[in-house]
């Protein structure tokens, strides 16, 4: 079984660019990934591409071959849809294909065009990742769903909105030096607490923005990397995936993420590591409470204690385990189909020492990327390690 090397990554800036199509965005990200990798396009065996709302935002299905064309490759191409975990799922399958020896070189990534729909249109489009019969038709949107999860957490374990505010402040601070981030501006705890309320207890600054953007990653087998003398010091050594019931009312717990726990346990076991080995992580913080649930599901914080991790400095850039050094979904942005692949790109750059925030984790050798769909009915987790 081959190690899967990260040969090159490419990201567009995340932000509000309604005039740009997803094929335009993915073409830009792919160009950057190929340039960094030094891998010729004709060596690519397959494309694995994540996208969630293309039919709604661009009236475009069958995006796999379209994005292969945009990336300048001629290879079999498959689109993956798993809500906000779409490109996380694409990465998982790409890793398995390379490991199994079916492919030597794959291009994996994703893109999303959202802002052209406007706030109301994008909110409606995102809502279809919930249970239409029992949630969407009742008027539930994701801010409301995550507010229910936050309140359930407070009821079970304690905590308050100010604890969540520290997560938003931390992630905005991390985004200041990330030129790909949508929001490169600092905020204070008071800004979070005084912002308009979206769905109690969550406010405007507890929520990630609507974003356009793309991410692309060139993965190769270890044999290919060695044969072509690639500069690829980081490998994906563990992969896992988990699922949960779709609708919140069907779940045993609202303040837990069993899908993420299963994915994390599988990825750790696959890589031969445990949570204590993790030096840094990019986790799916679509809302501030989501970061708390992710930390606990991944055993990076004990259950019931993740709520104070940012406030107490355990997850800040200079803390024990820095979380979301990219700025996270909260400040870097969340073009949903691109997010999972972008997390892989961020972790790889942090470990390779080429990220603007790598100085915060100079001795790091192990990182984790956690990507979630909906209210974490889907989750993927990947372990990345420095291997040379």
Q: 114: domain CATH number? A: 3.40.47.10
Q: Is residue 46 part of a domain?
A: yes
Residues 331, 171 contacting (CB under 8 angstroms) = yes
DSSP alpha helix (H) spans, 130-285: 142-157, 161-175, 189-194, 222-227, 258-271
Q: Is residue 161 part of a domain?
A: no
Active-site amino acid positions: 84, 334
pLDDT for position 335: 98
pLDDT tens per residue, range 103-132: 999 999 999 999 999 999 999 999 999 999
In whole angstroms, what is the distance from residue 346 CA to residue 341 CA?
9
* Residue showing tokens 């905005």: 172
Q: Is residue 361 part of a domain?
A: yes
User: Which residues are CB-contacts of 109 (< 8 A; sequence separation ≥ 6)?
Assistant: 10, 26, 29, 30, 33, 48, 49, 50, 87, 90, 214, 215, 216, 217, 338, 341
Mean pLDDT to the nearest integer, 277-282: 98
pLDDT for position 388: 78
Q: Is residue 151 part of a domain?
A: no
pLDDT tens per residue, range 212-263: 999 999 999 999 999 999 999 999 999 999 999 999 999 999 999 999 999 9
Domain of 366 in residue numbering reads as 4-118+209-386
Q: Is residue 76 part of a domain?
A: yes
User: Which residues are CB-contacts of 178 (< 8 A; sequence separation ≥ 6)?
Assistant: 184, 326, 327, 332, 355, 356, 357
Token couple for 1? 């079984």
Mean pLDDT to the nearest integer, 81-100: 98
Q: Is residue 305 part of a domain?
A: yes
Q: Is residue 267 part of a domain?
A: yes
Q: How many domains does the chain have?
A: 1
Mean pLDDT to the nearest integer, 64-73: 98
Residue 255 class from Cβ within 10 Å (0-12 exposed, 13-18 middle, 19+ buried)? Answer: buried
The verdict on pTM exceeding 0.85 is yes
Residues 232, 347 contacting (CB under 8 angstroms) = no
What are the C-alpha distances in Å from 159 to residues 1, 165, 193, 304, 320?
Answer: 45, 11, 14, 9, 21
Q: Is residue 324 part of a domain?
A: yes
């Amino acid at each position: 079984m081959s190690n899967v090397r990260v040969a090159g990554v490419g990201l567009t800036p995340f932000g509000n660019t309604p005039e740009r199509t997803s094929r335009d965005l993915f073409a830009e990200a792919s160009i950057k990934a190929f340039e960094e990798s030094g891998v010729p396009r004709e060596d690519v065996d397959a494309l694995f591409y994540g996208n969630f709302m293309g039919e709604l935002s661009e009236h475009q299905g069958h995006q796999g071959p379209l994005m292969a064309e945009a990336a300048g490759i001629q290879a079999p191409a498959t689109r993956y849809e798993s809500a906000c975990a779409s490109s996380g799922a694409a990465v998982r399958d790409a890793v398995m294909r390379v490991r199994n020896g079916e492919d030597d070189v794959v291009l994996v990534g994703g893109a999303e065009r959202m802002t052209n729909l406007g706030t109301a249109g994008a909110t409606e489009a995102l809502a279809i990742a919930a249970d239409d019969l029992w949630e969407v038709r009742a008027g539930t949107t994701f801010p409301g769903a995550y507010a229910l999860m936050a309140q359930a957490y407070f009821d079970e374990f304690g905590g308050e909105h100010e604890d969540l505010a520290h997560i938003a402040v931390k992630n905005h601070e991390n985004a200041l030096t990330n030129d790909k981030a949508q929001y490169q501006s600092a905020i204070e705890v008071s800004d979070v607490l005084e912002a308009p309320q979206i769905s109690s207890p969550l406010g405007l600054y507890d929520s990630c923005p609507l974003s356009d953007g793309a991410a692309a990653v060139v993965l190769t087998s270890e044999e290919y990397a060695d044969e072509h003398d690639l500069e690829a010091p980081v490998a994906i050594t563990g992969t896992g995936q988990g699922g949960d019931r779709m609708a919140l009312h069907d779940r045993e717990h609202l303040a837990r993420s069993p899908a993420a726990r299963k994915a994390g346990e599988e990825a750790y076991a696959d890589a031969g590591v445990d949570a204590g080995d993790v030096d840094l992580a990019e986790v799916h913080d679509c809302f501030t409470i989501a970061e708390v649930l992710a930390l606990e599901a991944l055993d990076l914080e004990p259950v019931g204690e993740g709520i104070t991790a940012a406030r107490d400095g355990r997850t800040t850039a200079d803390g024990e385990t820095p979380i979301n050094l990219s700025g996270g979904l909260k400040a870097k942005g969340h073009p949903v189909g691109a997010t999972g692949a972008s997390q892989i790109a961020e972790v790889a750059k942090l470990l390779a020492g080429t990220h603007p925030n790598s100085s915060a984790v100079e001795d790091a050798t192990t990182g984790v990327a956690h990507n979630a769909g909906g209210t974490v009915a889907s989750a993927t987790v990947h372990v990345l390690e420095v291997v040379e």
